[in-house]
Structure 1
C-alpha cells in the first residue's frame, strides 16, 4: 500500500428523532440542512428519502491516544447532518488520520484545504502497527490523563446536533419521546482482509464499530455505511424501549396504545438495511444479518409490536362494549 494511505479513519454518529410533529419533505429538509450558503443539500427519493447536508470543517489541534502515550494531530474534522425518512436525524463527525510530511505545525491554510484530514506530527510506528493501536485508544473512550486535550468527536457531533435541533422552524413536538444513540466507528485499510465489520453494544445507548475496508477510496463509503448502521440500530433501540415501557401498564390500559401506536405508524417504514449504503460495502449487511441478526431482531420486535397493539385494541373495544351495556 502507498505510504500516504491513512493510518486510520475515526468517526462518531449521533442519532435521534427529529423534534417535529410532521416529517419533513424535500423543501423543508433542504432548508433545515443548508449549513453552508451556496452549497446544495443532497437528496435521495428512493427507496426511502434521505437528505445529507453540505460538509463543514472543524479545526482541531489535539492528541490521540497511542498505547500508554499520545500523539499530536492537527487538521480538520468533517461534519455533516443526515435526515432519513423525514424523521430520523443524525449528526456525523469523522477524520482520516495520516502521517505528516513534516514534523512541525503548518499554517491553517494547509489544513483547511484538506477537509476531514488530520496529520500526526509526532513520530509514530509503521501503519500496520500504529493503526490498530489508534483504534483501541479511540474506542477506549477514557478521560485524558494529562493536560493536553484528546480528540473529542463526541462533543463535535453533539454540538452540531444541538444546533440543528434548536432551529426555530422545528415545533419541538415530536410524535413520541425517544432517547438518542451514539455510534463510534473506526476503519482501517486492509486490502484483501476487508471488507469486515464488528459491532459491539458498549452500553444501553453507545455502540462501537470496527471496520476493515479494502482500499482508501472505501473510507468514504465506510462513513455512509456507519450512518446507515447507526440509523437501524436506533430503530431497534427505540422500538425495544417502547415495548419495555408499554409492559409497565396493564393490558386494559390506554397507555399501552399511546406508547406503541406512534412506533408502528412512523418507524416501521424506515427499516431498509443497506438501502443507503454504497455498493462497495453493502455486503457487510449480509454479515450483520447473520450475527448479530439485526433483521431477525427487528422482525421479532415488529411482530410483538403489532400483536400487543392488536390485543390492547381488542381489550379496549371489549371494555367499551361492557361499559355501554352497563
Structure 2
C-alpha cells in the first residue's frame, strides 16, 4: 500500500548517499531469503525481480530530521522533514543502502506538526533563504557536525541489516565498502539531464553532481546513483583483488618449486569469477530518461572499458596457470 503524499513546492535540490558492500555470508541469498532479509516494513512488500539478474529492494523507511542543512558558504539554514531510506540486494551478493531527500525552495514560516511532514515522504523543508548551489556543495563536502547527514541514515540501515540472523558473517572474499554521495540540481529549462562531475574523493568516497529536469522524481535519481555506486564498487573490488597477486606463468616444463605461488594466485582470483564477474550490467535498472548519463562515464574514465580489461586479465591468468597442469597430465598419460 503506497503512502499518501501531499503536494509540495517543486524541488530545487535532491541529495543522497549510498553505501555498497559485499553481503557477509558464504552463500548468496536466494530470492526467497532476499525477501525475508529486506522485509523492513510489515505493511509493504519487498520488490523482487529475476531479470536481467536477481534483484530485491526493500520498501522505504522514513527518518524525521530537524537540523541545519550543510552549506559550502557557512550559512545555517534549518530544515525539517523526512529522509527516505531503502536497501537493495543484487544477485543475493551485493548489499546497498541509500538515503535521500528533496528540498523545495520554500517551506512553512514556522514549524508544523509531524503529520504535515509525514505525508510528504522524503521532503525536507527549509526555513529562511535557500541557496541550492551552496547546499549542494555542502552536502557533497560532508557538512559540519550537527548538519543533516544522510550518510548516517544510510549507515544506520546498513548496520541494522548486517545483524540479520540469515548472515553467517563468512564472506567469500575480502572487500571494502564504498560510499557514493550525490546532489542533483535542476537542469536549465528545456535541457535534459547531465552528469557534471564524478569524483573519487577518498579511498572509499565518491561524489556525483548532476543536473536533472525538475519533473524527474528523486527516487529515480537515487536509482541511477545506486547503479553508479554498484558498478564503481565492482571495479574497486576487482582492482584491489588483483593488487598484490603475483602474476607470470612458468615454462610448461618447469617443476613446482618450494614457494611457488601459482595455487595462491588461482585461489585469489577464483572468488572474482565465482561471485563478481557476472554482476556487470550498467543501467539495467536505471530509468530510461536517466540512462544516457552512463555515456559520460563510459567516455571518461571508461567504466566498462576498464572492467573488460580486468576481466580479460583474470581469465588470461587462469588460463596460463592451467597450462602447466595440462602438460603434466599429458606426460603422465601412457
| Fold equivalence (TM over 0.5) | yes
- Could you tell me how far apart the structure 2 residues matched to 1:165 and 1:319 are? 46
Matched position secondary structure for 2:182: strand
Matched residues in 1 for 2:150 and 2:166: separation? 27
Assess, with a 3 A threshold, how the Cα gap between structure 1 residues 273 and 174 changes in structure 2: closer, same or farther: same
Q: What is the aligned partner in structure 2 of residue 49 from structure 1?
A: 54
Matches within 5 A, 1:120-135: 120-124=126-130, 130-135=131-136
Measure the CA separation in 2 of the matches of 1:315 and 1:77: 57
How far 1:318 moved relative to its partner? 6.5
Give the aligned partner of residue 210 of structure 2. Answer: 211
Q: Which of 243, 250, 274 is residue 265 of structure 1 equivalent to?
A: 274
The corresponding residue for 1:127 is none
After alignment, is 196-205 or 26-35 more displaced?
196-205
- Alignment correspondent of 2:91: 85
- SS of 2:190's equivalent in the other structure is helix
Which residue of the partner structure matches residue 26 of structure 2? 21
For structure 2, list consecutive stretches of 5 or more residues without a partner in the other structure: 1-7, 249-258
Which residue of 10, 14, 21 maps to 1:9?
14
Corresponding residue of 2:103: 97
| Residue in 2 that maps onto 1:195 | 193
- Higher radius of gyration, 1 or 2: 2
Name 1:299's counterpart in structure 2: 308
- Matched position secondary structure for 1:194: coil
Contact 1:252–1:316 under 8 Å retained in 2: no
Kindly tell me: are residues 132 and 318 of structure 1, through their superposed partners in 2, closer, same or farther at Cα, counting changes over 3 Å? farther
Question: Superposition pairs for residues 200-239 of structure 1, below 5 Å?
Answer: 200-239=199-238
| 2:115 aligned residue | 109
Report the more deviating stretch, 228-237 or 57-66: 57-66
Deviation at 1:248? 8.8
Aligned length: 313
Alignment TM-score, normalising by the size of structure 1: 0.90
Q: Which residues of structure 1 form unaligned runs of 5+?
A: 125-129
Contact 1:41 1:54 in 2 (8 A): yes
The answer for the alignment partner of 1:35 in structure 2 is 40
Question: Which has a greater percent of helix?
Answer: 1
Once the two structures are superposed, residues 12-53 of structure 1 have per-residue CA deviations (whole angstroms, 9 ceiling, x without a partner) of: 000001111111222111100000013100111111111110
Contact 1:189 1:216 (8 Å CA) reproduced: no
TM-score, structure 2 as length reference:
0.87
Q: How big is each residue's C-alpha offset from its partner over 1:225-272, in whole Å with a ceiling of 9 and x where there is no partner? A: 100111000000000000003249987342212221011121111100
**Contact kept? 2:103, 2:123, Cα under 8 Å:** yes
Compute the RMSD of aligned alpha carbons.
Answer: 2.2
